[in-house]
């Protein structure tokens, strides 16, 4: 089956070069030179298999565009940008990107990263399904707060605060499940990286910190003072259920 790809890039030459290269790789490519155009295409046609996006767009910065995409879609997002400062890389990951490639780049690098990120997504879906089939998993109360308790339900793949479902990306959900399987136990960044992202990831352990911060904004009562997902300095992270 042909994979679909969206390229969001305001430089005509870069966009054309990427399109031709990706079509040669067998992708069905859609283009957008502005963020609003890309978002409109997503609303009309749904999410493709992968999105490649630049950070410096004319109408909206790439960080904002990524956050808008993440409100509705779990599609893998790869940033391609000349901005290679560490703060930009971390900010892009915090916004919801899955990987970051610095310009100039080799087409082979882009295609390799696309294959890796799509493979991770597929493995994550399969792993979640296998875990549900292989074990009888009951709902886990992560934060007891009466009618507003935070409950993880692996059988249905949901996290709820009271009656309200909390939208987590697949990566955030798998990260929470890994922590919830070993409450009170410290899990290292390297261990989480291997178990949640699987093999083939090109980045480093910083991405674990980024996703932990994003997860905290959704499940902690006060993300600036987390009590549920606790940092153990120099070791990793620990889930402390609030009873």
Strand order in the sheet with 77-81: 28-32, 4-8, 50-53, 77-81, 99-102
Report the C-alpha gap between 143 and 64 in whole angstroms.
Answer: 31
Taking the mean position of all CA atoms in its chain, how far away is CA 150? 21
pLDDT band at residue 130, thresholds of 50, 70 and 90?
low
**How would residue 34 be classed by pLDDT, with cut points 50, 70 and 90?**
very high
pTM: 0.68
Which of 120, 150, 185 is the endpoint of a domain?
A: 120
Q: Work out the pLDDT band at 198, boundaries 50, 70, 90.
A: low
Residue 230 sits in a domain of what CATH number? 1.10.10.10
Residues 110 and 172 in one domain: no
150, part of any domain: yes
Per-residue pLDDT, 204: 63
Task: List C-alpha distances in Å: 229 to 105, 176, 199, 226, 236.
Answer: 37, 9, 24, 6, 10
Q: Find the domain containing 21 and state its range.
A: 4-120
91 and 181 belong to one structural domain: no
**Are residue 144 and residue 114 in the same domain, yes or no?**
no
Which of 78-82, 126-130, 206-210 is the least confident region?
126-130
Confidence check: pLDDT of 69 > 90: yes
């Amino acid at each position: 089956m042909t994979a679909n790809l969206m390229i969001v890039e305001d430089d005509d030459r870069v966009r054309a070069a990427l399109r031709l290269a990706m079509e040669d790789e067998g992708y069905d490519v859609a283009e957008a030179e502005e963020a609003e155009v890309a978002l409109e295409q997503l609303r009309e046609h749904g999410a493709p298999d992968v999105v490649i996006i630049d950070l410096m767009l004319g109408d909206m910065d790439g960080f904002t565009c990524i956050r808008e995409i993440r409100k509705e879609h779990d599609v893998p997002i790869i940033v391609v940008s000349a901005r290679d400062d560490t703060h930009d890389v971390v900010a892009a990951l915090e916004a919801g990107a899955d990987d970051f490639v610095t310009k100039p780049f080799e087409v082979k690098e882009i295609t390799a990263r696309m294959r890796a990120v799509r493979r991770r997504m597929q493995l994550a879906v399969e792993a979640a399904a296998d875990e549900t089939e292989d074990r009888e998993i009951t709902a886990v109360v992560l934060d007891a707060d009466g009618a507003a308790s935070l409950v993880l339900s692996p059988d249905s793949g949901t996290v709820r605060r009271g009656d309200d479902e909390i939208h987590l990306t697949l990566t955030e959900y798998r990260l929470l499940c890994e922590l919830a399987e070993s409450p009170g136990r410290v899990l290292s960044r390297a261990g989480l990286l291997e178990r949640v992202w699987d093999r083939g990831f090109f980045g480093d352990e910083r991405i674990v910190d980024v996703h932990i911060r994003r997860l905290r904004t959704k499940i902690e009562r006060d993300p600036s003072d987390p009590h549920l997902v606790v940092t153990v300095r120099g070791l990793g992270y620990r889930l402390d259920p609030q009873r």
